[in-house]
Each structure stands twice: as structure tokens, then as C-alpha cells.
Amino acid sequence: MRSFVTAGKFAAAGVFGAILLSAPVKAQEFIGILTGGTSGVYYPMGVAISKILTEKVKGSRPSVQATKASVENLVLLQQGKGEIAFTLGDSLAFAWEGNEEAGFKTKQTKLRGMAAIYPNFVQIVASKDSGIKTLADLKGKRLSVGAPKSGTELNARAILAAAGITYKDLGKIEYLPFGESVDLMKNRQLDATLQSAGLGVAAIRDLASSVAINVVEIPAAVVDKTGAPYIKGIIPKGTYTGQDTDVATAAVVNYLVTRSDLSDNAVYEMTKAIFDNLDELRSAHSAAKDIDIKKALEGMPVPMHPGAERYFKEHGVAK
């Protein structure tokens, strides 16, 4: 396999740096997989991809990095500090255009698409004790919107704005990862959490097993007002303990992305390994059941990497 990344670039990737400093290794062995918090969906999915690449891509040594998810992942990828990253579609579009308000100081021109994967569902969950049943009920309440400038937080801003709610309307705003938000809710220090993730996210399952919850509807009219790339979605009844009805919400597609400077062969091998072994991803998390090779190029906000594009062309998937 051709070189994936230079050791100097990879050393900057936080946790990976110590590995490189402690023992010299061949740079082409490393595939840094940028995910999200450990209580979300990106992380277990990234662990599954790491296992697949270890088994299927000869000589590779993948490593999984927990991050603040979409925005941080794209910035790190642009800096050469990773090879594969998970991201939300709106964050990816903002990165490509260099939207500073979204957390991108310049256009992230090195980003290249690998594939569309599964949709993220914007899931607003409140404790029953809070009395929150609708978006309007969030006013004056304590809400966590995810890590600052994360893909989840960008989703929160967009959805609340479409519902006519600003952060100033809230009683208190917390910028916390999924797991920490749930801990505060269990301790009655927080009324609600907004989490953008695949269905059945571990943090909300944990919360629902400990505290009586309401899953808050995001009406179709709000989704329509938010506009692309948001689409209407449903959180099916029984997704979480105590949720006895379907709940309408908003969804946005997740993508796997890579860097323009990786060789076509390297990206082809990684893409092939992932899509030839989707059953292993589906075993890692139920969200992966929505990954469909026929939809792998849909809505991609950045140019496809030629290596990934070659794989999909071989399987009859065209733009």
C-alpha cells in the first residue's frame, strides 16, 4: 500500500503522537479514524471500521480517535491529522465553503468524499419532570446542545431558529457531549438534551433506563423551514424506554470523508473494505442498517475522492 500520511503530520493528532514518539514505525501503516464522543454512534462505528481495516487492508494499523465530532474532525482532516472522518452533511458543506460562524476559518479544500452513510436524527429528550413536551416548552428551561461548534450544536442552532427560539430564550444553555448531558439530567441539573445521532444512541438509552423521559417532536413545518440538508424523519416508538409513540423529527445525512492527498489506491482499498463488510458495521450499531451502497454518492457536498469513486463505479453506482 502507498503512503497514507507522513509521521510528522500524524504526530499532531493528539493521542497518536505518543505512539510515534515512543517507537519509529512505517508511516504508511497508519489510518487515523476521527469519530466523536464515546457515548455517541460515530465512535462504535469507527471501532468497527478499525477492526475491518485491520483484517482486510494488509499492513494497515488503524487507530480510532474520540473527538468533538463533525467540525473538529473536518478541521483535523484538513490539517492532515487523520485519514477517515465521520461528519454531518451540513458541517461538511460549511467546511467546504469556509463558514467561519460554523467553526471554519478558511475553506477546507483538502476534504474529499468517501461515501454517504446513515442519517442522523435530531433527538430532543426531556425529563418528564421538566414538563417539556413541545419545542415552545424549551423556553426558560435548561438545555444541552452538544459540544460547542460541533455538528450537533450546528443542528441545534438551525432547528431552534426555525422554531423561533434563540439561545437567549432558554433558561440555561450547556455545551456538553452526550454522556455528560445525560449525567446532568440524571442529577436534575438539566431539563433536556439535544443529540444528533443515529437512532438508539447509547447516551439516550442510558438516560431512558434511569429517568422518565419525553421525546420532543420537531414538527414537519419546522423541518421545512430549516431547509436543506434537513429532511423529515421519524423516531419509531420503542426506540427508547418509555417512548410509546412515533415521534416526528428532523434528520441529516452523515458522510465518511478523507483527504485529497491520499493515494487513489489507499482510498479504494479502505472504501472496498468498508462496503464489502457492511454486516460487521451493522453488528456494531443499529444505525448502520441504513447504510446503502446505492445511496453512497447522494448529496455529497464535496468532490468525491477518485479512489472511492472508482469503487462505486465498479458496483454500478453513479452520481
Digit-coded pLDDT (tens) for 108-130: 999 999 999 999 999 999 999 99
| Same domain, residue pair 113 and 124 | no
- Number of domains into which the chain is organized: 2
Region 81-100 average pLDDT: 96
CATH code for position 205? 3.40.190.10
Last residue of a domain, one of 207, 224, 252: 252
Please give the pLDDT value at position 28. Answer: 40
Q: What does the block give as the cell for 125?
A: 429528550
Chain mean pLDDT for the chain = 90
The reply to whether 197 falls in a domain is: yes
The pLDDT of residue 121 is 95
Whether the per-residue pLDDT at 17 is higher than 90: the answer is: no
- Cα distance between residue 75 and residue 97, in whole Å: 13
**Cα 110 to Cα 282: distance, rounded to the nearest angstrom:** 29
pLDDT for res 315: 97
As a whole number of angstroms, the distance between CA 62 and CA 186 comes to: 35
Q: Do residues 150 and 44 both lie within one domain?
A: no
**For the chain, percent of residues with pLDDT exceeding 90:** 84
What is this structure's pTM?
0.80
The residue-averaged pLDDT of 229-233 equals 92
Q: Which domain holds residue 53?
A: 7-118+254-314
Q: Locate the DSSP E strands across 137-246.
A: 142-144, 172-174, 192-197, 213-216, 231-235
Residue 14: pLDDT band (50, 70, 90) is very low
Task: Tell whether 83 and 173 lie within a shared domain.
Answer: no
Q: Are residues 209 and 278 in the same domain?
A: no
User: Does any domain span residue 272?
Assistant: yes
Both 170 and 84 in one domain: the answer is no
Q: Are 221 and 99 members of one domain? A: no
102 and 126 belong to one structural domain: no
- Which of 206, 233, 252 corresponds to the end of one domain? 252
159 and 239 in one domain? yes
Is 50 exceeded by the pLDDT of residue 15?
A: no
